[in-house]
Structure 1
Amino acid sequence: MVSEQESKQRLHLVFGGELKSLDTVDFKNLEGLDIVGIFPDYASALTAWRAKAQQTVDNAAMRYFIVHMHRLLEPDGH
């Protein structure tokens, strides 16, 4: 049997884009955001984030982020 804890999804969104300034998290072009995908766990999201970050290492203004969607969907932690 799968326990309730094991069956809970922990969705993570990986996305990125070019920032207006290195001092903010304001994107230059919202229509140009790169939505990498939604992943079932942090480990797979981190792998995708690392790959994208490595591909864009030459552009200092390009940033990728991991959003813990499960925290937004269930803010009380249940």
Structure 2
Amino acid sequence: MPDGKNKQLLHLVFGGELSNLESMEFRDLDALDIVGIFPDYASALQAWKSKAQMTVDNAHMRYFIVHMHRMLDPHNENKTAS
């Protein structure tokens, strides 16, 4: 069991092409790019930036960071963790 200092704060990075720029609906769910699951926000942000920069020429392509640790433990009110 991890101690308080090394608590895992899992983050998912994924992206895909949006149907239009004013919605959060993806054009093709089968084509979603699951970049990976990362142990902390800093490494997730690095992966997000890399993917976002690689697709900068496609205005419909968007990448997201999902704070999985918040979904896995919704009762934890720790607002200081990213």
TM-score (norm 1): 0.93
**How far 1:7 moved relative to its partner?**
2.8
1:38-75 CA distance string (max 9 Å, x none):
00000000000000000000000000000000000000
Percent identity (aligned)? 66
- Cα separation, 2, equivalents of 1:44 and 1:7: 15
What is the aligned residue count? Answer: 76
CA–CA distance in structure 2, aligned partners of residues 23 and 71 of structure 1: 26
Q: Which residue of 2 aligns with 1:30?
A: 29
- Aligned ranges 1:1-78 → 2 under 5 Å: 4-77=3-76
TM-score, normalised by the number of residues in structure 2: 0.88
Q: Which runs of 4+ in 1 moved over 3 A?
A: none
State how far apart, in whole Å, the 1-side matches of 2:14 and 2:43 are: 13
Unaligned runs of at least 5 residues, structure 1: none
Q: Which runs of 5+ in 2 are unaligned?
A: 78-82
- SS of residue matched to 1:75: coil
